[in-house]
Amino acid sequence: MEYDYDLSEVIIGGELSLATRNSVHGWVLLADRVESLRVELTGNACEELAGRTIRFHHTSKRPDFSRRLAQLNGMVTQRHIGVVGAIRHEGDCLDLEWYCQSGRIGARLQGFIVEIDPKEPAESCRAFEDYMQEEVEEPEGFEESGLFESFDDFLHDDNEPSYQEFVAKMEKFEETVIEGKGESVRIGSLFDEHHWPKPEGLTEDAAQEVMSRVLATLARFNVAFDMCPKCTWQHAYQLIHDKLADEEFYPVMKGSDWISHYGASDFCGPCQEEFEKECESMELFEDDNDVDIESLNG
């Protein structure tokens, strides 16, 4: 089976966090791209890489990418959601494979420097959310670069193509989702009995095989499903088969930035308890930091 898009000769570098079970998040930088490709996948890497973070970059300046980049026309290049196919590191070769909105993506990276962090199992289902909340330091001279001024101009330039594209996307979203004018489709209606078997009696391996096909198909329609670290493939498939089959999505949003997101943690008792504890701790933190304005005014 060939890849829909082979990134082997256009990847410059990247970082993938495999610290949380059933989750692969990170970024991949493609040649001639200003922004990196965000990767948000359900699944796991090979056992040797599980619980780790891997970073990779090419050892030297890579050859002309123009011909290879042309082959990526039509591929979603901002954010990939879906399911892991394979992530493994053997010798000097790093193999990456996943299924997303653009189909089957793959890369065999040779001649790359690969750094693998020590194994540190995640203590929380919400490790990635915590990471996303971390404050990112701006590079020195960032404000003087003129980026903010150009972005401000972009926001106020109605003739800017990027702005017009942004407005068109928002109008499409509002009409389709908010106003409900778009045709919706049930998740369960996408599959026949062979690809949507009853979950009872499925082994863990069989459930993983079925779920991988289901998630790969859903990703094509911008539908994502996350598994919490406590979830097995059997539990995940039973959940999506029994609880989410009647959930609806909008095929017209396919290929857009709009993602219909579902998660096993919404149905997981321990995850909900953990979330409630975090909310309580945040409320206590806010209470401790309340300021009496009148006391400040004397």
Could you read off the pLDDT of 1-52 as tens digits, one per residue? 689 999 998 898 999 999 999 999 999 988 877 678 999 999 999 989 999 9
Are 199 and 119 found together in one domain? Answer: no
Counted residue by residue, the chain has a size of: 298
Same domain, 37 and 114: yes
Q: Which among 78, 104, 123 is the end of a domain?
A: 123
Total number of domains constituting the chain: 2
Q: Are residues 112 and 12 in the same domain?
A: yes
One-character DSSP codes across 244-282: STT-EE-GGGTTSS--EEEEGGGG-HHHHHHHHHHHHHH
Among 108, 123, 138, which residue terminates a domain? 123
Asked whether residue 156 is domain-assigned, the answer is no
CB burial class (10 A; 0-12, 13-18, 19+) of residue 173?
Answer: middle
pTM of the model: 0.74
3-state secondary structure of 137: coil
Please say if the pLDDT value at position 220 is more than 90. yes
Q: Which domain holds residue 254?
A: 183-287
Q: Out of 123, 146, 163, pick the residue that ends a domain.
A: 123
Q: Is the dihedral of CA 140, 162, 164, 145 positive or negative?
A: positive
Worst-scoring range by mean pLDDT, 43-47, 103-107, 139-143?
139-143
The answer as to whether 98 is a domain residue is yes
Q: How far is CA 95 from CA 38, 86, 92, 125, 252, in A?
A: 18, 7, 10, 26, 33
Q: Is residue 146 part of a domain?
A: no
CB contact at 8 A, 8 and 192: no
Looking at the domain assignment, is residue 138 inside a domain?
A: no
In this structure, the answer to whether residues 14 and 99 fall within a common structural domain is yes
Nearest to 78, CA basis, from 276, 236, 256: 256
| Single-letter amino acid, residue 51 | G
Q: Tell me the three state secondary structure of residue 234.
A: helix
The pLDDT, as a whole number, for residue 128 is: 36
**Within a domain: 108:** yes
Please report whether residue 171 resides in a domain: no
103 pLDDT tier (thresholds 50, 70, 90): very high
Q: Are residues 17 and 118 in the same domain?
A: yes
Asked whether the predicted pLDDT for residue 119 surpasses 70, the reply is no
Q: How far apart are CA 42 and CA 50, in angstroms?
A: 13
Kindly state whether residues 211 and 280 are assigned to the same domain: yes
Percent of the chain with pLDDT over 70: 70
264, 227 contact by CB (below 8 A): yes
Q: Whole-number mean pLDDT of the chain?
A: 79
Residue 52 forms part of a structural domain: yes
Residues 117 and 207 in one domain: no
In a domain, 136, yes or no: no
Q: Do 17 and 111 belong to one domain?
A: yes
The C-alpha atoms of residue 104 and residue 98 are separated, in whole angstroms, by: 6
CA-to-CA distance for 71 and 27, rounded, in angstroms? 20
- Asked if 113 and 59 count as a contact pair (C-beta separation under 8 A), the reply is yes
Q: Among 175-179, 195-199, 263-267, which range has the highest average pLDDT? A: 195-199
Using alpha carbons only, give the angle 290, 296, 298 rounded to the nearest 5 degrees: 140
